[in-house]
Homo-oligomer: A and B are copies of this chain.
């Protein structure tokens, strides 16, 4: 017996030595990670009192605090409940060259809500799918993702919870939720297993024995270093495009769109008044029923996006909507997965968000100007469909408008802008440059409309040679969609 213990101690000492060496090694790797701009995510899930916090502490102890962050859902504002469930995690994704540790994350979130019956089995399955999509998109965008599960058995958990509660200093750490988990240990065990089963294909899970703290820290460090070194050796990963089966709506090619429809001034005024009144009423209902609404505007320069948006915004209660003009990404946006800047701009439930240009920049300007690789934009069709499905699964109404004109109309409007002093600011050299690339853009837009007009988040081509006609058409589409969403939520 005594020899066994000595053996164990020796082994432990050896592990500790190695941990020390690995920590120093990881510290040395920091600068390379920063230079190469590798973003790293370490997800630490596991049982209550399994030592998730301590494990994170072990991992970061030699790291430069400017170089990592720890995200803890416990510290996430309650208000995030009014966003899609992945929102807090997506918003916290690290920028290139940094590490984000999630001290429990989307796994605990899904499992706990399922067992608490706060979500249905059907919602749970959709969330599993979203998790797989989210993790794959991160990986394909060059993120390194390490997923750890810290395991302890029921007796060990009891011992630890008891020890925590026995001390005044630590008693507050044991929550009602933890005790409930302990009582329902078996149920949780099954649920954790199920979750890992169904989310291990893209990024594998690593189960660590929380009972043996030193060994767990050792293994975690080893996995982290291996992952980083592999990436440094092989270079930043770029995911290959692939197509998933989304139910798509067939849209005409832009060249085949009849742009002749117009509306008389008189009819326009009458319709506008009626439709805006109706939209104002619906906004109230949307707000009370907490339905999130996302309106996406894309279109040719000078097609009339701004005026169209203004007609939608006019009757809305300003406390309940936002217009998000999307310009070139800022540095902190450029250094993260490309959807991040849209994740963080999502509206709260019950609010309307109008995006003036959107994530579709990826498959238009970024594609044509070479701001991303071919794999990147080809992969984006599918990634965007997934992203939008996550939004509609959350309950959002997502409508996408392509504000369409022909080349002659654009030229006439450019010329008008050039000749009207108050409008000159609207016309830039870039507009003229983009105009020269009309055929390439048309090809990209046609492809985009074909590949991303899903049933849940459809595109609408808005004929805007007559801007008034375009506004009325858009208003009608929005109203119809909101009425449908309200009816479905009754």
Q: Is the CB of A318 within 8 A of B101?
A: yes
The docked-state distance in angstroms from the alpha carbon of A257 to that of B298 is 62
Q: Is the CB of B31 within 8 A of A64?
A: no
A323 to chain B: closest residue by CB: B65
Specify which chain B residues have a CB less than 8 angstroms from the CB of A330 in the assembled complex. 330-332
Chain A stretch 179-196: residues in CB contact (< 8 A) with chain B: none
The docked-state distance in angstroms from the alpha carbon of A172 to that of B28 is 59
Main secondary structure of the interface of A (DSSP, over half): helix
Total copies of the chain:
2
Q: Is the CB of B354 within 8 A of A65?
A: yes
Specify which chain B residues have a CB less than 8 angstroms from the CB of A66 in the assembled complex. 306, 309, 323, 325, 356
Closest Cβ of chain B to A335, distance in Å, is 11
Specify which chain B residues have a CB less than 8 angstroms from the CB of A356 in the assembled complex. 66
Known: A72-B319, A310-B65, A319-B72. A425 touches B77 (CB 8 A): no
Q: Taking the complex as formed, is A348 at the interface, i.e. its CB lies under 8 A from any CB of chain B?
A: yes
The docked-state distance in angstroms from the alpha carbon of A363 to that of B425 is 36
Interface string of A436-459 (1 = CB under 8 A from B): 000000000000000000000000
Specify which chain B residues have a CB less than 8 angstroms from the CB of A320 in the assembled complex. 75
Specify which chain B residues have a CB less than 8 angstroms from the CB of A78 in the assembled complex. 77-79
Binding site for B on A (CB under 8 A): 28, 31, 34-35, 53, 56-57, 60-61, 64-66, 69-70, 72, 74-75, 77-80, 101, 103, 169, 172, 281, 284, 288, 306, 309-310, 313-314, 317-320, 322-323, 325, 330-332, 348, 351, 354, 356, 422, 425
Task: Identify the 3 closest CB pairs spanning chains A and B, nearest first.
Answer: A77-B79, A70-B318, A72-B319
